[in-house]
Each structure stands twice: as structure tokens, then as C-alpha cells.
């Protein structure tokens, strides 16, 4: 008589391991033997894999997934969703959270949501809430965190030990950070055309996107810019097969866990592997991230749990910084993002001024026609224009390099840039009263936009209550419907003219000329193919 198998209850971490093992091709039978469960259990886990992954994504860290064994939700689900969202946002900003404060907020959300009138937010409920969401005692108590030098130095020393212990090469240490960009914003004092006495019809634009920059510690590898807009399919992207940026969408143009995980898996890992192949060098890759607040649309942290990200590729690992050191030592915050935004606004100003100089159309009408596609191109060019030295020096603090203090260099560069822009505007008389203070205000109009949303209690309730509503696409998107574009023949003729023009210029170099020629040849080949197809059709149609 066979002995009865001992009942085994798998943790969520075990289930995640099984899901990833199944993806790698391991058989259900071998996993059944390894974990001491029946094959039917493995089959059930496979069927619920998407649900398990989504649920564990909502937990704060690997501490929240390692011991938990069920995905049971609270009877007051909406209350807990609101409370957890509020908790994540406040902790990410460094605010201390105590147990009594959590209970007080739970009662507040329960009252506002017309929840169970018998709900008491007892100490027993609090312990279960913390276990359900992986909240450690360390994260609930403690004094307010501040961005001070001692805390930053402690983190730097800890990071140094971690890097040396794991043997990370600087080529494979990356930092990613997001920020908001008001992509159509102009100085408050209207930059009116010289042919216009007043800028009639011009309103301050509040259209924004979120951009995320990512580069390695040597400055030699920067990933394509991630741009997050509101619309899934902007009309101005019609008939465009590729952009110079990675584009994603969210109904308020914020970054969230789903977007970040998609970027990490589909963009970050492949791009890093491609770079490793190009330099013929391999190694474990480290991505440094800040402790970002949760995003209200999916009640998950802005970045998924470390456990979830580690499962994607064992050669890639992620390390989160404490919220009190982010602004002090985060590499992309040490002048890089500021430089990208300044270059973007210079490009936007240049585009507008060239249109005005060419007398093609008025300044205001041209500004109205700038769309999200133009934004993507200008943002990509601005990111690609950041000097390698700027990217490398941004890591000086966090890696304790014995080089000059980077912040002074950035500050001097920014100040000189402000003066240059104000002088250009004055010289060409497009804004009679625009001084350096106005330019500085314009350049810094979105400096405090982190690219993710922090909501009040009432806004959290509104978001959770409306979470089942379908996203509205193309809302507030001002894009003109474009035609199908030039024909192959028209493209060839224009490129041929452009090539002849470039050949006669002093700035002409062989690399750019060959690139331009290859594009012209592509248009030529497509033109020939279309001619042949047209001839065949005409021949077949002849009677």
C-alpha cells in the first residue's frame, strides 16, 4: 500500500519559479517531483500564470512574495487598494508611516467609499494588511528621511561593496530615470512673430509626456529614449513604421509598473545584449533605480518587484535606492535630465525661428502644428546630443570617482545657456521683453515633474473607483490627419537634389554622404519596383 503524499502548500515565490521553469521548457513531471506536488498542481499554476504574475507585481518587494502562499484578497478590497496606494506614494517620498496612521487612513477611506460600517481597522487587521502587501516593520516605523549627505554616503559605501563583491564592470552598470516634459511649452511672455503685434490666440500649453533616459557608467552606451504619451495610436503617427524613440502610452502619460516592465524586458535587456556583442564583452548587468511612487491606474509600484524583474533574465539584476538619496546621487539627476530638457527647448526654439525667418507661416500657426511626432524627433536628437563626458561625469558621486565636482560644471553650463538663449531672442526681436529670468523660468517649467503621479486622498479614491472605466484614446491630442506621404518617385527626386546639395557643402563628410546615398538608392529601388508593377498591371489590363 503506497503512503499518502504529504500535503505541500507552495509559496508565491515557488509558483513564480515554476512558471519561469515552464517557460524555459522544463516538464511538468520533473517540476512535480522537485516541489513534491502533483502534476495537476503544476498544470493549475500554468493556467493561472498570468494572474499570479500580475498579483505578485503589486507587492512591494521580494519580501512580500517569498513567504506568502495565497492570493486571497481582503473583504474591503477597495479600501485596501486606496490605502496601499497611499502608503507606497508617501513612503517613496520619505514620509514616515506608523501603524496607527495606517489604521486612521483605512477608516478614512472606508468612510469615503461607503464601506462596511462595522470595519474597525484593528491591530489584527493591520497585521494581515501588512502581510498581504509585504510591508515590513522597518518600512512602517522610523524618522522622516531627508536628502542629506550622510545618508547618501552610506548608500554609496553600500553600493561600492555590492559592486565589488558581485564583480560588476562599469560598462554594465546602468541608471534609468523618468521625468515629465511639457513639450509645447513656451516662455510666458509670448514669442510673437515680428509680423504680429500681439500673439492672438496663443495660450500657455500644458501638453506633457513622460520621458525616461538610461545610460551606463562609462557614458558610452545610452539606450533609445522612452517617450510615454496619452494616446495609443496618435494620428500623427499614421503610416510611420518606426520612430527614433521607444513610444508607449498611458491615459495620463505617466509611467507605471506595466510600462516599466515592458521596457525592461523588450527594450533594456535586448539593447544591452546588443551593446555587449558590439564590444565583444560579457558580464552581469546592474540597473540602478529610484524608489518611485505607485501609479494610480493599476495600484502597483512604478517599478515592479525585484523578484519579478530578476526572473526575466538571470544575467540582469536590479537595485533600488532609498528615497532619501535619489536627488543627491542619482546619476541621471546630476545634470543629465536638465541638459536634455535644455537642448530640447533650444531645438524647439530653433525650429520655430527658422519657420519665421523663412516667411513660410506665422509663428503662432507653426507652433500649433507641432505635434507628438515632432516632439519625439526633437527629444531623440536632444538625448543623442548629450556629451559622453556629461554622461560619464554624472556617475562621479555615486561611484566615488576622484574627479572634479560635477554639479559646478552643470551649473555653469546652464547659466551660460540661459544667457545665450535670451540674447538670441532679443537679437531677432521675436520677444521684446524676454529677459534671462523669463528664459530660466521657461527652461525650468517642468523641473519638478517626476514623470509619475502623486495623488491626494480624494484623487486616490477617484482613481480606484474609476479603475474599470475604459481608457479614452486620443483625448486632447491635437494632430492633423496626414496623407499617405510622398511617392517613391517624389522621394527619390528630393533625395537626389539633397545629395547634390550636400556634396557641395563644406560640412560634407563621407559617412553622412554614404548614408544619404543609401537612402536615395532605397527610394530608387522602390521606384523601379513600382514602375515594373505598374507596367505589368497595364499590360494585363490591355484588351
Least confident of 100-104, 231-235, 452-456: 452-456
235-249, 356-370, 376-390: lowest mean pLDDT where?
A: 356-370
d(CA 344, CA 336): 12
pLDDT at position 1:
47
* Predicted local confidence at residue 109, as pLDDT: 92
At 44 the three-state DSSP class reads helix
Q: Specify the pLDDT at position 442.
A: 67
Distance CA 512, CA 216 (A): 27
C-alpha distance from residue 302 to each of 59, 140, 471 (Å): 11, 19, 19
Helix (H), strand (E), coil (C) string for 130-184 = HHHCCCCHHHHCCCCCCCCHHHHHHHHHHHHHHHHHHCCCHHHEEEEEEEEEECC
pLDDT digits (tens, 9 = 90+) for 475-528: 334 344 444 668 888 888 898 898 889 888 888 888 888 888 888 888 888 877
pLDDT of residue 492: 85
Over residues 456-466, mean pLDDT? 76
What the block records as the C-alpha cell of 184 is: 509645447
pLDDT of residue 61: 40
DSSP element (H, E) containing 348: helix 336-357
Q: What is the pLDDT of residues 112-122, one digit of tens each?
A: 888 888 998 89
Any residues with CB less than 8 A from the CB of 90 and at least 6 apart, and which? Answer: 97
For residues 287 and 379, what is the distance between their CA atoms, to the nearest angstrom? 23
Q: DSSP code of 224? A: P
| Closest residue by Cα to residue 486 from 497, 502, 474, 475 | 497
Residue of 241, 93, 247 whose CA lies nearest to 183 = 247
Q: Is the pLDDT of residue 25 over 80?
A: yes
Q: Cβ of 295: how many Cβ atoms within 10 Å?
A: 27
DSSP string across 239-284: T----SSEEEE-TTS---HHHHHHHIIIIIHHHHHHHHHHTT----
For residue 211, the SS3 value is strand
* Torsion angles phi and psi, residue 384, rounded to 5: -70, -20
Average pLDDT (421-428) is 59
Statement: residue 71 has pLDDT above 70 = no
Contact 246, 376 (CB under 8 A): no
Judged against a pLDDT cut of 90, whether residue 462 lies above it is answered with no
Residues 344-362, mean pLDDT to the nearest whole number: 68
State the Cα–Cα distance between residues 186 and 310, nearest whole angstrom. Answer: 42
pLDDT, position 487: 85
Q: What are the phi and psi torsion angles at 489 (to 5°)?
A: -65, -45
User: To the nearest whole number, what is the mean pLDDT of the chain?
Assistant: 75
Residue 208: Cβ-neighbour burial (10 angstroms; 0-12, 13-18, 19+) = buried
More confident residue, 427 or 269: 269
What is the per-residue pLDDT across 270-318, written as a single tens digit (0 to 9) for each?
A: 999 999 999 999 999 999 987 654 333 333 444 556 667 777 888 999 8
**215 neighbors 332 (Cβ within 8 angstroms):** yes
Residue with cell 563644406: 506
pLDDT attached to residue 209: 92
What is residue 245's predicted lDDT score, i.e. its pLDDT? Answer: 95
What mean pLDDT do residues 47-51 have? 81
Across residues 255-270, what is the average pLDDT? Answer: 89
Q: Considering the entire predicted model, what is its pTM?
A: 0.67
From residue 298, give the alpha-carbon distance in Å to each of 81, 164, 247, 256, 344: 10, 37, 19, 8, 31
Name the grid cell of 240.
Answer: 510611420
The helix or strand, by DSSP H or E, that contains position 415, with its residue range, turns out to be helix 406-427
What contacts 275, CB < 8 A, 6 or more positions away?
Answer: 221
**117 phi and psi angles, rounded to 5 deg:** -65, -15
131-137 average pLDDT score:
67
Which cell numbers in the block locate residue 501? 546639395
pLDDT bin (cut points 50, 70, 90) of residue 534 is low
pLDDT reading at 214 higher than 90: yes
Higher pLDDT, 318 or 194: 318
193 pLDDT band, cuts 50/70/90, is very low
Rounded CA separation 342/175 (Å): 20
Strand-strand pairing, 294-295 and 285-289? unpaired
pLDDT the model gives residue 270: 96
Give residue 437's pLDDT: 67
Average pLDDT over residues 200-208: 58
| Mean of pLDDT values over 315-335 | 78
Average pLDDT score over residue span 390-395: 93
- The reported pLDDT for the residue numbered 263 is 93
Can you give the pLDDT at residue 174? 96
Total residue length of the chain:
543
CB 446 within 8 A of CB 421: no
DSSP state of 222: B
Task: Note whether 10 and 42 are within 8 A (CB).
Answer: no
Residue 305: its pLDDT value, please?
A: 63
Rounded distance between C-alpha atoms, residue 383 and residue 340, angstroms = 6
Q: What are phi and psi of 227, to 5 degrees?
A: -115, 130
Determine the pLDDT at residue 540: 52
Amino acid at each position: 500500500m503506497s503512503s499518502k503524499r504529504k500535503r505541500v502548500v507552495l509559496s508565491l515565490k515557488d509558483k513564480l519559479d515554476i512558471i519561469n521553469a515552464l517557460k524555459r521548457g522544463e516538464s511538468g513531471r520533473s517540476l512535480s517531483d522537485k516541489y513534491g506536488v502533483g502534476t495537476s498542481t503544476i498544470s493549475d499554476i500554468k493556467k493561472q500564470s498570468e494572474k499570479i504574475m500580475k498579483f505578485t507585481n503589486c507587492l512591494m518587494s521580494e519580501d512580500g512574495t517569498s513567504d506568502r502562499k495565497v492570493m486571497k484578497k481582503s473583504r474591503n478590497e477597495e479600501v485596501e487598494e486606496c490605502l496601499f496606494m497611499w502608503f507606497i506614494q508617501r513612503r517613496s517620498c520619505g514620509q514616515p508611516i506608523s501603524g496607527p496612521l495606517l489604521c486612521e487612513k483605512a477608516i478614512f477611506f472606508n468612510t469615503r467609499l461607503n464601506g462596511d460600517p462595522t470595519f474597525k481597522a484593528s491591530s489584527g487587521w493591520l497585521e494581515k494588511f501588512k502581510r498581504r502587501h509585504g510591508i515590513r516593520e522597518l518600512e512602517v516605523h522610523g524618522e522622516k528621511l531627508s536628502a542629506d549627505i550622510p545618508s547618501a554616503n552610506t548608500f554609496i559605501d553600500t553600493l561600492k561593496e555590492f559592486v565589488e563583491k558581485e564583480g560588476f564592470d562599469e560598462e554594465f552598470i546602468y541608471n534609468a530615470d523618468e521625468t515629465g516634459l511639457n513639450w509645447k511649452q513656451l516662455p510666458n511672455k509670448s514669442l510673437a512673430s515680428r509680423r504680429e503685434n500681439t500673439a492672438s490666440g496663443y495660450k500657455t500649453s500644458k501638453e506633457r509626456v513622460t520621458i525616461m533616459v538610461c545610460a551606463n557608467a562609462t557614458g558610452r552606451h545610452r539606450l533609445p529614449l522612452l517617450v510615454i504619451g496619452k494616446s495609443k495610436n496618435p494620428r500623427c503617427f499614421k503610416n510611420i513604421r518606426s520612430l527614433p524613440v521607444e513610444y508607449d502610452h498611458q491615459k495620463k502619460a505617466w509611467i507605471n509598473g506595466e510600462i516599466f516592465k515592458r521596457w525592461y524586458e523588450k527594450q533594456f535587456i535586448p539593447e544591452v545584449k546588443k551593446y555587449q556583442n558590439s564590444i565583444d564583452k560579457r558580464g552581469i548587468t546592474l540597473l540602478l533605480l529610484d524608489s518611485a511612487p505607485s501609479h494610480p491606474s493599476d495600484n502597483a509600484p512604478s517599478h515592479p518587484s525585484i523578484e519579478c524583474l530578476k526572473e526575466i533574465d538571470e544575467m540582469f539584476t536590479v537595485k533600488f535606492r532609498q528615497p532619501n538619496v535619489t536627488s543627491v546621487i542619482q546619476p541621471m539627476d546630476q545634470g543629465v535630465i536638465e541638459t536634455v530638457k535644455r537642448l530640447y527647448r533650444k531645438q524647439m526654439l530653433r525650429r520655430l525661428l527658422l519657420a519665421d525667418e523663412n516667411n513660410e507661416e506665422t509663428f503662432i500657426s507653426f507652433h500649433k502644428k507641432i505635434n507628438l511626432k515632432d516632439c519625439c524627433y526633437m527629444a531623440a536628437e536632444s538625448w543623442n546630443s548629450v556629451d559622453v563626458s556629461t554622461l560619464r561625469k554624472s556617475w562621479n558621486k555615486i561611484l566615488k570617482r576622484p574627479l572634479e565636482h560635477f554639479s559646478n560644471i552643470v551649473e555653469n553650463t546652464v547659466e551660460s545657456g540661459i544667457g545665450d538663449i535670451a540674447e538670441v531672442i532679443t537679437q531677432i526681436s521675436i520677444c521684446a521683453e524676454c529677459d534671462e529670468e523669463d528664459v530660466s523660468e521657461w527652461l525650468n517649467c517642468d523641473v519638478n515633474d517626476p514623470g509619475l503621479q502623486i495623488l491626494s486622498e480624494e484623487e486616490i479614491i477617484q482613481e480606484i473607483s474609476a479603475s474599470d472605466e475604459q481608457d479614452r484614446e486620443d483625448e486632447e491630442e491635437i494632430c492633423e490627419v496626414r496623407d499617405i506621404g510622398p511617392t517613391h518617385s517624389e522621394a527619390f527626386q528630393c533625395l537626389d537634389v539633397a545629395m547634390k546639395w550636400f556634396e557641395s557643402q563644406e560640412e560634407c563628410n563621407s559617412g553622412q554622404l554614404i548614408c544619404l546615398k543609401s537612402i536615395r538608392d532605397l527610394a530608387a529601388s522602390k521606384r523601379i519596383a513600382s514602375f515594373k508593377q505598374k507596367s505589368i498591371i497595364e499590360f494585363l489590363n490591355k484588351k
